Amino acid sequence: MPKNPIRKPLVAANWKMNTERAEAAALAKNVVDSIGRQYKVDVVLCPPYIWLHDVGMIIRDSNISLGAQNMHWEDKGAFTGEISSIMLKSIGCKYVIIGHSERRQLFGETDENVNKKLKKALTVVLMPIICLGETLEERESNRTAEIVTNQFRSAFDGISDFGGITIAYEPVWAIGTGRNATPQQAQEVHKILRQMLQNKTAEYENIRILYGGSVKPDNAAELYKQDDIDGFLVGGASLKAGDFAAIVQAAMI
């Protein structure tokens, strides 16, 4: 089935734990200058929490939205070092990344946590970008479908309304390694995810599934041509405004 035009492409920048204050501001300004007025692609910047306000002010009059890289599932309380969804809303976030593989692998985030965060994000009307993907070992032992299927089931347990949800397929072996999934490898998993969505909701054709993992200006167009790839979650390449803008351009065709 060809790509369904009902899905507006989305390209999100995950700056991770990068940028000092002045750099973050300069990067956001450069992104606004290059792609801040286009309306064909939904563009999201996810800076570190501490620069959300600064970046939010810079993108305020553009078509770019603000997102966070993580959140806690409680509204407030004794959770030292955590940030709640309510706080993110009040600083102007529209999106939030949930379940990034670095959170899962380095900070012990579980499928159960991902599910709790997702439910909370939906309650406060933050648009979640739910990440899932297999490790190299899992891929090499032919367990990719099983892993992403299980992650999908756990993440969306108890969810029936998928409005506002985006999924990001990010094979762990492709993140920050310079080794992207081939368009065919990515499409194969995206198709599985689309079928899982179809089993859950009649709205499955409306839900965006992003690819993430070493997306660069020179591989984005081929990836985007795949029927079920609706945009990108970009790490390293989002730290250069020119590269990020080129990736957004690739999702306009």
Nearest to 22 by CA among 67, 62, 54: 54
Rounded Cα gap, residues 7 and 231, in angstroms? 10
Q: Kindly give the residue spans of alpha helices, DSSP state H, lying in the chain.
A: 21-35, 52-59, 85-90, 101-106, 111-123, 136-140, 144-155, 183-200, 217-224, 241-250
Q: Does 171 bind ligand PGA (CB under 6 A)?
A: no
Rounded Cα gap, residues 97 and 168, in angstroms? 9
| The one among 235, 243, 245, 249 contacting ligand PGA by CB under 6 A | 235
Residue 166 beta carbon to ligand PGA: minimum distance, rounded to whole angstroms: 13
| The one among 28, 175, 209, 245 contacting ligand PGA by CB under 6 A | 175
CB neighbour list of residue 178: distance below 8 Å, 6 or more residues apart: 214
| The one among 42, 109, 170, 230 contacting ligand PGA by CB under 6 A | 170
Q: Does 233 bind ligand PGA (CB under 6 A)?
A: yes
Please give the angle made by the CA atoms of 127, 192 and 95, to the nearest 5 degrees: 10
Q: Does 163 bind ligand PGA (CB under 6 A)?
A: no
| The one among 36, 183, 213, 231 contacting ligand PGA by CB under 6 A | 213
Q: Does 219 bind ligand PGA (CB under 6 A)?
A: no
Retrieve residue 211's tokens: 């690819």
Binding mask 118-157 for ligand PGA (x = CB under 6 A): ----------------------------------------
Q: Is 112 a catalytic residue?
A: no
Rounded Cα gap, residues 98 and 240, in angstroms? 23
| CA-based max dimension of the chain | 49
Q: Is 170 a catalytic residue?
A: yes
Tell me which stretch binds ligand PGA (CB under 6 A): 33-41, 48-56, 207-215, 222-230: 207-215
Q: Which residue is nearest to ligand PGA (CB)?
A: 235
Residues at the site binding ligand PGA, with contacts judged by CB under 6 A: 14, 170, 175-176, 212-215, 233-237
> What residues are annotated to the active site?
100, 170
